[in-house]
Amino acid sequence: MCGIAGLVVSRETRPPALSELEAMVAVLGHRGPDGYGLYRDARAGLGHARLSIIDLAGGAQPMCNEDESLWVTFNGEIFNYVELRAELEALGHVFRTRSDTEAIVHAFEQWGEGAWARFNGQFAVALWDARRKQLVLARDQFGIVPLFYACGENAIVFASEVKALFAAGRLAPKFDPAALVHIFTRWAVPAPGSPFAGVACVAPGHAVTITEDLGITSKAWWQPDFTPRFARGIADLDEATDALEERLKAAVAIRLRADVPVGAYLSGGLDSSLVTALIQRSRTSHLETFSIRFEDAAFDETPQQRRMVEQLQTRHHDVLVSGHDIARHFPQVVKHCETPLLRTSPVPLFLLSDLVRGNGTKVVLTGEGADELFAGYSIFKEDAIRRFWARSPSTDWRSALLSRVHHYVGDQHDGRMWKQFFRKGLTETDNPFYSHGVRWANTAWTTRFLKRDLIADVDAAALESDLEPFRLRWKHSRRFAGSCGTRCWG
């Protein structure tokens, strides 16, 4: 992934200093080792640390349009840049590079704020309109790519990481104790908040506009489209399965657009194995795959990984992680996550990313997000069990099913707790709209959990290793609605 940073200053103050831009970009150097670029005028400055993936020779940033009235620095990838370019060229736009960055510039010229919804990708964009003296910060639907901003001394600063905001020297770091409430209850601070006082993130699916007088407005350009029963045109499980397969194939294919080798994470589970298999179908050469092995047998999935490697015939690499490794690297991972961590899971991902970098691979495809989209977590299994109870209230399977979801319940002996737990929500199961609530909860959980926690873990773990993880979790609003709207079978 790349790193972006910059600032816009008030009318009354001096122009952005070259030194403060350089300091911000230097902090982000681990995100983009392939070069850096700067732009500044009397009111704004943009910086970029580049990890080159598309148009290695011509994709340097910040990049401008033909008359230099629009300047952009962005992190991520616009996967459908080829189609966007063809559409924009037909409208009269002239391109000078083959990069996806230039597609952003011309798309904003053509469609303004409507451009964001046309992008199939994962992105954080900073776009400076030199004529209107206006800065726009935009982020993809699920916030896969991070972007923060804060009000500093006579300026508003922005960056891919919070620590780069402080490098400008216009504000001092200060932890927000109230953030701990969210972290200890929801694992992360909900957008647009952050663990730092005075620092905000651009909320997923939002664009923040900073006007000439440093006024700030945030506007949602995307929201999940909840379909209460079926996705449009899908009548049953077989059709839903076929539609999902086609969308997965298309999602994998478009993410293989890169001018550098693309690898894959292969944990041995269903999600990553499916993604890897789809990549292999389109390749004639060996695919590089990567996984984690754990010294603790309770967490190790090496046998499953080896079976998939043998089946898919990939060139596989793995890293063995011990408890000592996790303890040794944990402080470094906290530094990159820029938040208190309640779990150690980002540490193995960090070590896995280091393995990928050592192999010379810049891009990997991952399978994260399937449990959120398709109700794979235990919290959703409980909903399925409750629907089963509604159909068969006297079943002997009740305790056995529950123990598969909540292993600790068997240790509880207070009958009052058991009554409250088993009766929770069951008074509503004869309501014809009961399953509507389950699907609504799934949609809400998906957007909350993906936006706040899972994405932050993967990004922070990968950024130290100059790595771009492409997630299949990102969907067009139409495609995501198809997933949410498919009936909850079972």
Which residue ranges form the domains of the chain, and what is each CATH number?
Answer: 3-220 (3.60.20.10), 225-490 (3.40.50.620)
Active site residue 2: yes
Strands 70-78 and 155-159, sheet pairing: unpaired
The pLDDT tens digits along the chain (490 residues) read 799 999 999 998 999 999 999 999 999 999 988 889 999 999 999 999 998 888 888 899 999 999 999 999 999 999 999 999 999 999 999 999 999 999 999 999 999 999 999 999 999 999 999 999 999 999 999 899 999 999 998 999 999 999 999 999 999 999 999 999 999 888 889 999 999 999 999 999 999 999 999 999 999 999 877 665 555 566 678 888 888 889 899 999 999 999 998 999 999 988 899 999 999 988 777 899 999 999 999 999 999 999 999 999 999 999 999 999 999 999 999 999 999 998 898 999 999 999 998 998 999 998 877 777 776 766 667 777 777 777 777 777 766 776 666 554 555 555 555 555 555 555 555 555 545 555 555 555 555 555 454 445 555 555 454 555 655 543 433 443 344 343 333 3
Q: What SS3 class is residue 121? A: strand
Query: Measuring CA to CA, which residue among 150, 169, 228, 145 is closest to residue 21?
Result: 169
Query: Measuring CA to CA, which residue among 155, 109, 103 is closest to residue 132?
Result: 109
N-to-C CA span, the chain: 40
- Residue 313: Cβ within 10 Å count: 10
- Where helices occur in 115-176 by DSSP H, the ranges are 162-167
Report the alpha-carbon distance of residue 379 to residue 385 in Å, rounded.
10
User: What's the pLDDT at 286?
Assistant: 85
User: What's the pLDDT at 475?
Assistant: 40
Which of 2, 64, 201, 484 is the catalytic position?
2
Report the alpha-carbon distance of residue 473 to residue 224 in Å, rounded.
13
Q: What's 44's DSSP letter? A: E
What does pTM read for this prediction? 0.84
Q: For residue 150, what are its two tokens? A: 């804060």
User: What's the pLDDT at 315?
Assistant: 95
Report the alpha-carbon distance of residue 8 to residue 481 in Å, rounded.
37
